Amino acid sequence: MRYVAVLFWAIVLGQVAGFIGGALNQQTYNFQMTLIVSIVFAIIFTIVPLILKDNTKKKDAN
């Protein structure tokens, strides 16, 4: 469920950022390109923490 929420919010916030960025640069808003970029970033933000997760076992401080 966490991954669905990340994907949903990445798409929503990506669309908002794409719209505002297009308006600031005086370019047309492209829904499809913004959607693709949003999904790519959502996948990256989902995978990177899994890759960087510390899998080493900590030694007991005796």
13-20 long-range contacts, Cβ below 8 Å, gap at least 24?
13/38, 14/38, 14/39, 14/41, 14/42
Calculate mean pLDDT across residues 17-42: 93
Contacts 24+ apart (CB under 8 A), 39-45: 39/7, 39/10, 39/11, 39/14, 41/10, 41/14, 42/6, 42/7, 42/10, 42/11, 42/14, 45/6, 45/10
Summarize pLDDT for 2-28 with one digit per residue, the tens.
888 888 999 999 999 999 999 999 999
pTM of the model: 0.71
What pLDDT shows up at residue 62? 56
Q: How confident is the model at residue 56 (pLDDT cuts 50, 70, 90)?
A: low
> What percent of the chain stands above pLDDT 90?
50
